[in-house]
Chains A and B, each alone.
Chain A
Amino acid sequence: MELSWSEYPKFKRVPKRTAFSKNLVTAIILIATWISGVSCVQASDQPPETSFKELVDKMPSTKLKNLSKVVTDLEQESDPRLLPLFESLVEGKLYYVKSDKTVIMLNQELDDGKAFRATQVLDQTTIEHIAKSDIKKIRVNNKLRKQLRKAIAKLTLFSEDSNQRLAAVEKLMSDLNSENITLLKSAKESEQNNAVLEKMNLALNIALLDSNDKSIQKQAVKTLSGELHPSVRSRLNVILEQDANGEYLEDDKQLIALAESALVKIDGKLEFYGFIERVFFGLSLGSVLLLAAIGLSITFGVMGVINMAHGELLMLGAYTTYVIQTLMPNHIGLSIIIAIPAAFVVCGLVGIAIERGIIQFLKGRPLETLLATFGLSLILQQAVRSIFSPLNRQVSTPEWMSGALQINPGLALTYNRLYIIIFSLIVFAVLLLVMKKTALGLYVRAVSQNRDMAKAVGIRSDWVDAMTFGLGSGIAGVAGVALSQLTNVGPNLGQAYIIDSFMVVVFGGVGNLWGTLVGAFSLGVVNKFLEPVTGAVLAQILVLVFIVLFIQKRPRGLFPQKGRSAE
């Protein structure tokens, strides 16, 4: 729907910006003159320069609670330096030099964060190198950040970058006062980009919901019916507000009916997207379970070794990521990629060592294996505690893994989860290929089905055992890389996943990779659908109870292994 300006409800017109700021500038100059004789000389020479300079110079000595006033005054300035200044302030990159109180914006970290390259706010000159100890930050709080973001939105509404304009409109939408509506209207006239234009129309339509004219209100409700933006919903709720007796505050019946049907439509859509979101959450939890369990489905499922140290192999993978990241602190994204093969090799070698050193001597004695590997898990935990620290280690998330893919206002998929779902499927596919298409896979299957017969046809079963265990452990290491992006990297990381891993493998059917896949994803989805109903604690318990009951009914899991080896 399009409305011309004359049809808009009566908003008070704001005085022209330029005139307003000119007045303010004069006022500030007067004050400045009164305060200091020195600045008075400069003030008379270059009036606009002074007030901006005055205000910026004031920043280092202003207390946090008075800084808001300075920012308000700055907002009236139409200075090109304002936007970078505000942006640095909101990002916490605005500092001042301790010795002469020059306000600077940090551009780049040098010498591992001990020094910076910076730009002076006032004369925009670059300082190539300034030590961290020579500067002090200008601090901001939430209130100020909110104010700054709105100010930035106003300043970027006419920016060259369409994404910035889009963000600006989004920000202004939360504060649709008459001044912002005027701004949006004037910006709309010159807007070329469709996405931005759409958002502007949405914002202006939302503004119309507050109109005094019922017919305009109704028209706006009709237009906005089915719009998922949260502010539409909250505004409609305002129209439908009831008093203590359950009577509507609004007396136009037709408007109420319209608003109600619009709300129903929105809620229906939200519910649908909410469902999709739940499924996504379930798949994401499933992918984590799959990653944690898939290595185990090789060592436990195929080889039949109960490896209680499996969780610690995940942990070692996560610590490998940490080590790689510490070695290359400036390439966080790349370090994650490199960590994948590195973790595979590290954990694979540890796995081979475990197999050669412990497990091969305990063949066919599950109880001893269980105890030995449990002891090993404690040793590995303590080793990590001694080498690194008992405290958690910080693994950074690369830029491309943070944030969310916004499909619409009702549905957003977080990138880190999305990547990990894809990653888990890739790992699964590769493992499946290895098992089905390579010589190693063939040997592994042969040995696991009939060890003696395999030996008889000339397969070195010892070598195959070591390689299989190495492969399973290596996969666990790769999973650890993914986990380092989701959870805390600490000595206890493995313990949180060991039970889940066994659960998935047993549920899916021992020795069946597909079973592990289906088991992991179905447990993930079930858990996430239970969570909002029962709470996270009970959901976990219920899933466990479910598995216990399921195993009673089908002891071999979802996809039991067929053939002689199953006996």
Chain B
Amino acid sequence: MKLKKLMTATAATVSIALSAAVSAAETIKVGVLHSLSGTMAISETTLKDTVLMMIDEQNKKGGLLGKQLEAVVVDPASNWPLFAEKTRELLTKDKVDVIFGCWTSVSRKSVLPVIEELNGLLFYPVQYEGEESSKNVFYTGAAPNQQAIPAVDYLMEEIGVERWVLAGTDYVYPRTTNKILEAYLKAKGVDEKDIMINYTPFGHSDWQGIVSDIKKFGNEGKQTAVVSTVNGDANVPFYKELGNQGISAEDIPVVAFSVGEEELSGLDTAPLVGHLAAWNYFQSVEADVNEDFIAQWKKFAGKDRVTNDPMEATYIGFNMWTAAVEKAGTTDVDTVEQAMIGITSPNLTGGTAVMNKNHHLSKPVLIGEIQEDGQFEVVWETDGVVPGDAWSDYLPGSKDIVADWVEPIKCGNFNAKTAKCSGQNF
């Protein structure tokens, strides 16, 4: 009996000592806010793994500012309001220093008020519709001028497309992108009747009517292309239906902004061969740094896994953040935010990404054709890097607005004409 008591006492002492030791070796906490269940899990789970891999890697190199990094993973379950709740939890309860997260624009929009109220730091790694620049968010994915506009240029100049179908899922990203594209096409002299716009719900699976309409639209004698902002797994039945109705990439090419290697890895690529995607990164790009990254990823996640553009954006974002923290010598949000601007980091296509004053990156734009093996063959790329433009030049409301987070402007939506900051934060 005595022995048992003694043992309990020892155990208690040891555990106290241990917990003291843990709190002494303080960690830097990194929040990971990606859906691990629900419709978006297919895309977002990969990004969670990417962040975990990067943290692992950084810790092996000795951590950051002499401290180890600690990941705090939460699951917002593809539920947009839950993103806001989880952000609050991460910032107030877990007290994380930075958050990597979100995929859809609705989820980012739901996080914005919370992250600004509590002055957190979010790295957003996915291509999006622009029209936003928050002090507390760094956008490492593509803005419309880094993906949609170059893709349209490619179709117009290289393929000679004259009629346009803008097809998208019905939510904020496709709607805004299509608005920008429509304005851009009209500015380029495309007639109203040569543009067809179509929206479908999330997870749409009955594409027969829409594909038949596209076919009829394309049968007017002019070269037609589909610019697709269809998101998530609705793409699979869409491409299947295109194949079944006999529309090949040679007749009506589809250029997609949301279909990458990860989305292709789970499906029969035969009906997709030749269709296009516009991204800032493809796994097939030949560069030493890319090969290292792929090897590292396969070792971490499994040999059948693929890499994709949002992963590259996460990679760049994470490296920039660690560089900024080291430069600032602290994880304090305001200091790191200022240190971030102007930071450069190698991107995986062999060049260098720069963080601009508007919290967007300068990156190259690539257009790839889908191959049988689910990889992309790069058929076109921009000459140099394209700086991300937060406020589109093709929308009447946002033409004069710039984002600049450096003194003296320090504003996410500064009207260059009236020289006023609207005061609204996002």
Partner of B36, one of A139, A390, A496: A390
Task: Report the stretch among A25-33, A276-284, A456-464, A470-478 that lies at the interface.
Answer: A276-284
Of the candidates A142, A233, A391, A496, which one forms a contact with B219 in the assembled complex, judged by CB atoms under 8 Å apart?
A: A233
Q: Once bound together, how far apart are the Cα atoms of A420 and B36, in whole Å? A: 34
Q: How far is the CB of B236 from chain A (nearest CB, A)?
A: 5
Say whether A64 faces chain B, with CB atoms less than 8 Å apart. yes
Known: A142-B253, A412-B246, A415-B244. A537 touches B201 (CB 8 A): yes
Q: How far apart sit A72 and B37, CA to CA, in the bound complex (Å)?
A: 51
Bound complex: CA A415 to CA B241 (Å): 11
B interface footprint on A276-312 (CB within 8 Å = 1, 0 otherwise): 0110010011001000000000000000000000000
Select which of B41, B42, B250 is within 8 A of A142 by beta carbon.
B250
Tell me which of A397-405, A445-453, A551-559 binds B. A397-405
Report the separation of the CA atoms of residues A465 and B144 in the bound assembly, to the nearest whole angstrom. Answer: 58
A416 lies within 8 A of B45 (CB): no
Across-interface contacts of B241 in A (CB, < 8 A) = 414
In the complex, what distance in Å separates the CA atom of A212 from the CA atom of B246?
A: 34
The answer to whether B245 and A142 touch across the interface, beta carbons within 8 angstroms, is no
Give bound CA distance, A277 to B36, whole Å: 40
1/0 contact string of B201-223 vs chain A (CB within 8 Å): 10111101110110010011110
User: Is B41 a contact of A394 with CB atoms below 8 Å?
Assistant: no
Interface residue stretch chosen among A15-23, A344-352, A515-523, A527-535: A527-535
Do the beta carbons of A532 and B245 come within 8 Å of each other? no
A390 & B267 in contact (Cβ 8 Å cutoff): no
Per-residue CB contact flags for chain B residues 340-369 toward chain A (1 = under 8 Å, else 0) read 000000000000000000000000000001
* Contact assessment for B208 and A392 in the assembled complex, using a CB-CB cutoff below 8 Å: no
| Residue B97 interfacial (CB < 8 Å) | no
Residue A486 is within 8 A (CB to CB) of chain B in the complex? yes
Q: Cβ of A417 and Cβ of B41 under 8 Å apart?
A: no
Query: Do B243 and A141 have beta carbons less than 8 Å apart?
Result: no
Among B38, B203, B206, B213: residue with most chain A CB under 10 A: B206
Answer yes or no: B58 CB below 8 A from chain A CBs. Answer: no
Q: Does B192 contact A (CB under 8 A)?
A: no
Give, as a whole number of angstroms, the nearest-CB distance from A146 to chain B.
5
The reply on B310 being an interface residue by CB < 8 A is no
What are the residues of chain A within 8 A of B249 when measuring CB–CB?
Answer: 142, 145
Question: A488 and B233 in contact (CB under 8 A), knowing A141-B369, A281-B208, A403-B244?
Answer: yes
Residue ID in chain A nearest B210 by CB atoms: A536
Interface 1/0 per residue, A221-241 and B, CB below 8 Å: 000000000110111011000
Question: Would you call A508 an interface residue if the criterion is a C-beta within 8 Å of the partner chain's C-beta atoms?
Answer: no
The answer to whether B266 touches A486 (Cβ under 8 A) is no
Residues of A within 8 A of B333 (CB): none
Determine whether A393 belongs to the interface, using a CB cutoff of 8 Å to chain B. Answer: yes
Known: A390-B42, A391-B41, A415-B244. Is A281-B212 also a contact (CB below 8 A)?
yes
> Provided the pairs A142-B250, A234-B221, A537-B170 are in contact, do residues A385 and B37 lie with their beta carbons within 8 angstroms?
yes
Question: Are the C-beta atoms of B244 and A414 separated by less than 8 Å?
Answer: yes
| A396 and B268 contacting across the interface, CB-CB below 8 Å | yes
Given known A-B contacts A392-B236, A394-B266, A487-B237, A535 and B246 have beta carbons under 8 A apart: no
Interface status of A540 (Cβ within 8 A of chain B):
yes
Min distance, Cβ A221 to any Cβ of chain B, angstroms? 16
Given known pairs A234-B220, A394-B267, A394-B268, the reply for A141 and B379 (CB within 8 Å) is: yes
Contact A496 B221 (CB under 8 A): no
- Binary CB contact string for chain B from 42 to 61 against chain A (1 if under 8 A, 0 otherwise): 10010000000000000000
| Chain A residues with CB below 8 A from B271, complex form | 402
> Are B266 and A391 within 8 A (Cβ)?
yes
- Whether, in the assembled complex, B400 has its beta carbon less than 8 Å from a beta carbon of chain A, the answer is no
Give Cα distance in the complex from A417 to B206, angstroms: 10
Restricting to B168-206, which residues have a CB under 8 Å from any CB of A? 170, 198-201, 203-206
A537 touches B246 (CB 8 A): no
Q: Evaluate whether A402 and B243 lie within 8 angstroms (CB atoms) in the complex, with A142-B253, A142-B274, A536-B204 already known.
A: yes
Whether, in the assembled complex, B273 has its beta carbon less than 8 Å from a beta carbon of chain A, the answer is yes
What is the predominant secondary structure among interface residues of chain A facing chain B? helix
Residue in chain A with minimal CB distance to B377: A139
State whether the Cβ of A494 lies closer than 8 Å to any Cβ in chain B. no
CB within 8 Å for A393 and B266 given contacts A404-B245, A416-B244, A492-B203: yes
Residues of A contacting B244 in the complex (Cβ-Cβ under 8 angstroms): 402-404, 414-416
Q: Are A528 and B209 CB-contacts (below 8 A) given A142-B274, A414-B245? A: yes
Residue in A139, A392, A417 whose beta carbon sits within 8 Å of that of B266 in the complex: A392
Taking the nearest CB of chain B, how far is it from the CB of A407, in angstroms? 13
Interface string of B222-248 (1 = CB under 8 A from A): 100000000001001100110111100
Question: With an 8 A cutoff between CB atoms, is A490 at the interface?
Answer: yes
B288 interface residue per 8 A CB criterion: no
Given contacts A139-B377, A402-B244, contact A488 B206 (CB under 8 A): no
List the A residue with the shortest CB-CB distance to B37: A390
Residue A149, interface by CB 8 Å = yes
Tell me whether B208 and A284 are in contact (CB under 8 A).
yes
**A537→B200 contact, CB < 8 A:** yes
Residue numbers in B under 8 Å from A396 (CB-CB): 268
Distance of A230 Cα from B250 Cα, bound (Å): 16
Answer whether residue A92 sits at the interface, using C-beta atoms and an 8 A cutoff.
Answer: yes
Q: Are the CB atoms of A532 and B209 closer together than 8 Å?
A: yes
For B38, the closest partner residue in chain A by CB is A492
A412, B212: Cα distance in complex, Å: 10
Cβ of B319 within 8 Å of any chain A Cβ, yes or no, is: no
Contact of A412 with B245 at beta-carbon distance under 8 Å, contacts A396-B268, A532-B213 already known: yes
A488 and B236 form a contact (CB under 8 A): yes
How far, in angstroms, from A537 to B199 measured CA to CA in the complex?
7
Kindly list chain A residues whose C-beta atoms are within 8 Å of the C-beta of B205. 486-488, 496
Q: Please measure, in the bound complex, the distance between the C-alpha atom of A486 and the C-alpha atom of B266, giving whole angstroms.
A: 15
Tell me whether B206 and A288 are in contact (CB under 8 A): yes
Cβ-closest chain A residue relative to B46:
A391
From 247 to 295 in chain B, residues with beta carbon under 8 angstroms from any chain A beta carbon are 249-250, 253, 266-268, 271, 273-274
Residue of A nearest to B253 (CB): A142
Q: Are A390 and B41 in contact (CB under 8 A)?
A: yes
Q: Is B371 an interface residue (CB 8 A)?
A: yes
- In the complex, which residues of chain A have a beta carbon less than 8 angstroms from the beta carbon of B379? 64, 141-142
Knowing A142-B249, A412-B245, the reply to whether A234 touches B219 (Cβ < 8 A) is yes
CB <8 Å contact, B377 and A141:
yes
The CA-CA distance from A415 to B373 in the complex, in Å, is: 26
- Write the A531-567 contact mask toward B (1 if CB under 8 angstroms, else 0): 1100111001000000000000000000000000000
- Can you name the residue of chain B whose Cβ is closest to the Cβ of A496? B203
User: How near does chain B come to A525, taking the closest CB pair, in angstroms?
Assistant: 11
Q: A391-B42, A486-B206 are in contact. List 4 more A-B contacts (CB 8 A).
A: A284-B208, A402-B244, A496-B205, A532-B209
Closest A-B pairs by Cβ, 6 of them: A234-B221, A487-B205, A230-B219, A414-B244, A488-B233, A536-B200
21 contacts between A and B (CB under 8 A): A64-B379, A141-B274, A141-B379, A142-B250, A145-B250, A230-B221, A234-B222, A390-B42, A396-B268, A402-B243, A404-B245, A412-B245, A414-B208, A414-B241, A416-B244, A486-B237, A488-B233, A490-B233, A496-B205, A531-B210, A532-B213
A contact set with B: CB distance below 8 Å: 64, 92, 137, 139, 141-142, 145-146, 149, 230-231, 233-235, 237-238, 274, 277-278, 281, 284-285, 288, 385, 390-394, 396-397, 402-404, 406, 412, 414-417, 486-488, 490, 492, 496, 528, 531-532, 535-537, 540
